Structure 1
Amino acid sequence: MDVEFVFDVPCVWSYFAYARFQRAAARIRAEGGQVAVRFRPFQLDPRATADGEPKIDVLRRAFGVEADDAVAGMESKAASEGLTFRHRHAVWSDTLPAHRLIAVAAGQGRGEAMVERLFRAHHTDELNIADPVTLRRLADEAGVASRDGGDEDVRAELARVRAEGVRGVPVFRLAGRTLHGALSEETLYQAMSATVAA
Structure 2
Amino acid sequence: MRIEIWSDVVCPWCYIGKRHLEEALADFEHRDDVEVVYRSYELDPSAPEVPVETTEEALARKFGTDVAGVRELMTRTDAPAAAAGLIFRHGEAPHARTVTAHRLLHLALDLGGPALQAELKEALLAAYFTRGESMGDAVVLRRAAVGAGLDAERVDAVLASDEYADAVAADIAQARAYGATGVPFFVVDAKYGVSGAQPTEVFSQVLATAWGEAHPQVQLVGGDAGACGPDGCAI
TM-score w.r.t. the length of structure 2 is 0.77
What's the CA shift for 1:33?
4.2
Residue of structure 2 equivalent to 1:116: 122
Name the CA distance, whole Å, in 2 between partners of 1:119 and 1:142.
12
Letter in 2 for 1:43: E
Residue 86 of structure 2 corresponds to 83
| Counterparts of residues 42-191 of structure 1 (less than 5 Å) | 42-52=41-51, 53-63=53-63, 64-65=65-66, 66-107=69-110, 108-109=112-113, 110-145=116-151, 146=155, 147-148=157-158, 149-175=163-189, 176-191=191-206
Q: 1:186 to 1:151 in 2, by over 3 A?
A: same
Whose radius of gyration is greater, 1 or 2? 2
Q: CA deviation at 1:17?
A: 0.7
Q: What is the alpha-carbon distance in structure 2 between the residues aligned to residue 4 and residue 94 of structure 1?
A: 22
Distance 1:130 1:51, change over 3 A: same
Mean Cα deviation higher: 162-171 or 44-53 = 162-171
CA distance in 1, matches of 2:71, 2:122: 25
State the one-letter code of the partner of 1:62.
K
Moved over 3 A (4+): 30-33
Give the distance between the partners of 2:13 and 2:119, measured in 1 at CA. Answer: 18
Q: How far 1:31 moved relative to its partner?
A: 5.0
**Structure 1, gaps ≥5 residues long:** none
**Residues 104-149 of structure 1: CA deviation (Å, up to 9, x unaligned):** 1122121111111111111111111121111110012211222412
Q: Which has the higher contact order (CA 8 A, sep 6+)?
A: 1
Q: Give how far 1:44 is off.
A: 0.9
Q: Residues of 2 paired with 1:47 and 1:62: CA distance?
A: 12
Please provide the CA RMSD for this pair. 1.9
Deviations 1:23-58 (A, max 9, x none): 222322x65541111211111111111222300012
Q: 1:187 is paired with a residue of what secondary structure? A: helix
Counterpart in 1 of 2:40?
41
Hey, what's the Cα distance between the residues in 2 that align with 1:7 and 1:140?
21
User: In 2, are the aligned partners of 1:54 and 1:89 still within 8 Å (CA)?
Assistant: yes
Check 1:187–1:116 CA distance in 2 against 1; reply closer, same or farther (3 A cut).
same
SS at match of 2:74: helix
Contact 1:75 1:86 in 2 (8 A): no
User: Per-residue deviation at 1:80?
Assistant: 2.7
